Amino acid sequence: MNRFAKAFAYGGGGLGLAGALLTGLLFGQAQLAKRAIPDADRPPPDGSGHFPGDGMPIRLVMLGDSSAAGLGVDHPAQTPGALIAASLGVPVEYRCFAVVGAESGHLAAQIELASAHPMDIAIIVIGGNDVTHGVRPALAVRLLADAVRALRELGAEVVVGTCPDLGTIQPIQPPLRWVARQWSRQLAAMQTRAVEAAGGRAVQLGALLGPEFAAAPAEMFSADRFHPSAAGYAAAANALLPAVRAALIREPA
């Protein structure tokens, strides 16, 4: 979290005394947030598997970061990819290649692993770590667009859940929360344009889910108060599901 403040300092060097004071405040709040959010003590459950249904079978893969993998829940069935696979109503062979802590720059390695298996559709959830790790938005977006194009060249439809609204995370206090919200929204808007230009479908998770997470943080966040709970992942899966269904039937989103 302290990288929020470092990045702010980098971008606000000409703000003078007021900027220096605000930067110092951001550093202090970043340290408080870092102490308030515990490190994960175990990996997310793997929801990969076969899901029954009627009709033509679908091969689905999930790529991205901890929110794609489902960090914060206890059971494989509660992970977002498993929830989506179980909701499609057709036979689904689902594999998760998402990695906790991943940034957009890590998607290429995940795609290399996934490419060993045929896939019909790939879901990517990415962006939060790009913001918290200080990755420049233009670079993060370019790497995401490269990933979308690579998956399209492999014959997969692509749905991307863009950067969540990091301003809903309770351990992050104002004004750091305001910075987090602004930067995550900016990245999400840039991701949306790039994904669509690369032939994928973008779902703005922050805009869709931010108000719900902000209104009920105790319900929507897991015990670490950073990653979603089972209810939070269910909401994310429901937000992604229409775009996944539209991609599978090749209709305009």
Identify the helix (H) or strand (E) that includes residue 164: none
Is the bond leading into 175 cis (omega within 30 degrees of zero)?
yes
Q: Spot the catalytic one: 48, 66, 184, 229.
A: 66
Amino acid at 242: P
SS3 116: coil
Q: How many CA atoms, within 13 angstroms, populate the side-chain half-sphere of residue 74?
A: 1
To the query of whether residue 184 is one of the catalytic residues in this protein, the response is no
The yes-or-no answer on residue 75 being catalytic is no
Give the integer Cα–Cα distance in Å for 231 and 218.
Answer: 10
User: Could you report how far apart the first and last alpha carbons of the chain are, in Å?
Assistant: 35
Q: From the candidates 106, 130, 165, 227, give the one annotated as an active-site residue.
A: 227
> Measured between alpha carbons, how far is 162 from 184 in angstroms, rounded to an integer?
9
CA distance 184 to 101: 16
Grouping H, G, I as helix, E, B as strand and the rest as coil, residue 59 is: strand
Which structure tokens are listed for 134?
């200080």
**Locate tokens 């290429």: which residue?**
108
Residue 5 token pair = 């403040």
- Whether 229 is a known active-site residue: answer no
Secondary structure of residue 57 in the 3-state scheme: coil
Residues annotated as catalytic are 66, 224, 227
